[in-house]
Amino acid sequence: MSEPRASALAAVIASLAVATAPAAHAQPPPAPGKLNVLFIVSDDLNTDLGAYGARVSSPNLDALAARGVRFDRAYTQYPLCSPSRSSFLTGRRPDATGVLVNPSPARPMSPHFRERLPETVTLPQLFKNNGWYAARVGKLYHYGVPNNIGTSSLDDYMSWDVTVNPRGHDREIHDRIFTIGPPGQFGGMLSWWADDAPDAQQTDGIGASEAVRLLERFARERRPFFLGAGLYRPHTPYVAPRKYFELYPADRVELPSLSENDRARNPPAAYRSARKEQDAMEDRLRREAIRAYRASTTFMDAQVGVILKVLDRLGLAQNTIVVFTSDHGYHLGDHGLWQKMSLFERSARVPLVIAAPSARGNGRAAGGVVELLDLYRTLAELAGLTPSAEIEGTSLRPMLDDPSAAVKQSAFTKVRDGYAVRTTRWRYIEWSGGEAGRQLYDMERDPTETKNLASDPAHAATLAELTKAIAGYRAGQAQP
């Protein structure tokens, strides 16, 4: 497909992409003074951002962190797209939602959390049911990226009043994208392309414009809103305009070093996400992949800037809670791994910024451990709404007013038969109840997890304490 034709197609699809959900019972508008919510979710983003000390250009997210609270120890409950998003958008842990894998080509609409929780009220649905206008642009629930771009994919229509499914130039050029895997396999493989089409023609650029259009509508109508803006980048394929690639010369990319355990892949269960295609890459391709990921991150940051600039221009920032996060972290060659689906820090940790109007902690960083699961109760409390009793997690409101406060002692993450608990100091992981391996890391002294202390007698008491914490989690008794 030629570029002009692809651009025209992208514009047509974007203009037709608004799909209104089935009509819900009319709800009274909320009382004046209710806070809006702008909920921005990036896809497959780790904490390689300027605000977190990385040498990656992210000026718009850095500015958001400067005016909100940056959470330095925020963790996903499952480092995979659909399980993670199903969890934090329902306020339930993955074991409760029953979503522990992504959909397969054979079953593209399953598992869905409503198969197990048909009556659950999701986070955006809670706002919708109480009179807020709930809208989605892009990826909030699961999408198979990139093939499902432009569709509703595994959405939840009960959550929204209106949805927008942008589709841009990046979706039309699959024949050009470089991949280390078989041709056409982009979503699960390292793939990238420096595109000549501008920001505005990319899927996320179109999505940002559609979010702006909705914000302008909300400002005119003076109706409180919950706007979910889901950005696809930096999910592979790492497609971004060429100018972002030029910010990161490949010959200046430093490759991470590997520990003895990384080289031996011990215990084996901890490295199960490794793929032969990624292992076979030469250093040149490793640098190109990291470069492309960073370029896609900076491109995504620019689209966040487009949305936030209009929020300020319309005077909505003063009564809008802005949340920015990702569904999980991401490996870029550290531990010899790429992408997600491990229980190391880089896979489980996510960026999280909450800018709530008048929060006394704005402009500061919070060091206590938190979970994505906590977002449901946090936003409900800030908006004066009462979630149902089964909603899990803990409100982060005390940390928004005092970032030195702690609302929980531990954050839990699982993947396959592995469970991890993270405290402010320790990361402990066990596989198959410990039978397939245990890992204990002192994150204060060893933040890159090079020395496994699980068999060190000096740390036997810590190991016993954290083993007990995981046992409680697995029994459904994790502390809130």
Q: Which domains does the chain have, with CATH numbers?
A: 3-411 (3.40.720.10), 417-480 (3.30.1120.10)
> Residue 184: its pLDDT value, please?
80
Q: How far is CA 109 from CA 104, 114, 143, 149, in A?
A: 8, 11, 10, 15
Residue 459: strand, helix, or coil = helix
| Cα distance between residue 303 and residue 301, in whole Å | 5
* Residue pair 338/236 in contact by the 8 Å Cβ criterion: no
By C-alpha distance, which of 219, 207, 212 is closest to 314? Answer: 219
pLDDT tens for the chain, 480 residues: list them: 444 334 433 433 343 333 333 333 344 444 456 999 999 999 999 999 999 999 999 999 999 999 999 999 999 999 999 999 999 999 999 999 999 999 988 888 899 999 999 999 999 999 999 999 999 999 999 999 999 999 999 999 999 999 999 999 999 999 999 999 988 888 789 999 999 999 999 999 999 999 999 999 999 999 999 999 999 999 999 999 999 999 999 999 999 999 999 999 999 999 999 999 999 999 999 999 999 999 999 999 999 999 999 999 999 999 999 999 999 999 999 999 999 999 999 999 999 999 999 999 999 999 999 999 999 999 999 999 999 999 999 999 999 999 999 999 999 999 999 999 999 999 999 999 999 999 999 999 999 999 999 999 999 999 999 999 999 999 875 444
The first and second tokens of residue 438, run together, are 């245990």
The whole-number pLDDT of residue 183 equals 84
Instruction: Considering only the C-alpha atoms of the chain, give the largest distance between any 2 of them, rounded to a whole number of Å.
Output: 66
> Does residue 317 contact residue 307 with C-beta atoms inside 8 Å?
no
